[in-house]
Amino acid sequence: MSVGVFVGYQFHTNFAVEGSYRSLNAFVPSTPDIDQSAISVVGSQPLSNGFGVFARLGYNDVKVRHSCGAGKFLLCENFSPSNGVLVGVGATYAFTPSISARAEIQRPSSDLTNFGVGVAFGF
């Protein structure tokens, strides 16, 4: 399970730029803490009745922290984070012009896949 936050700017009806931070494995004991920060360009296409689809292409930075003994957080798993290309696809539903739900699957350039569901507030 993960938690995250993003901010963005829609500079065209179909294009936006977003920055995000996500903490993966945040609630799973005895697993490494995996933090992902990313910047992406998002292309979106509104559909009918408030629905829409989007795709993202960006760069992500993945960091891993895990307690290997003596309370120190080090990289001590066989997981090797990989920084690089981030891709994702998703769908949105607008409740109002400024509040929408979104679901997305992201694939960073490592062996992680993240599925997220959230709420976006526009202003």
Q: What is the rounded CA–CA span in Å between residue 49 and residue 73?
A: 48
Contacts of 119 (CB under 8 A, 6+ apart): 99, 100, 101, 102
Residue 93's identity, in one-letter code, is Y
pLDDT in tens, 3-38: 889 999 999 989 999 999 988 766 666 666 778 899
Query: CATH number, domain at 111?
Result: 2.40.160.20
pLDDT in tens, 63-107: 876 655 555 455 444 455 668 899 999 999 999 999 999 999 988
Q: Which domain holds residue 102?
A: 2-121
- What does DSSP say about strands 51-67 and 73-74: parallel, antiparallel, or unpaired? antiparallel
Number of domains into which the chain is organized: 1
pLDDT in tens, 56-72: 999 998 887 665 555 54
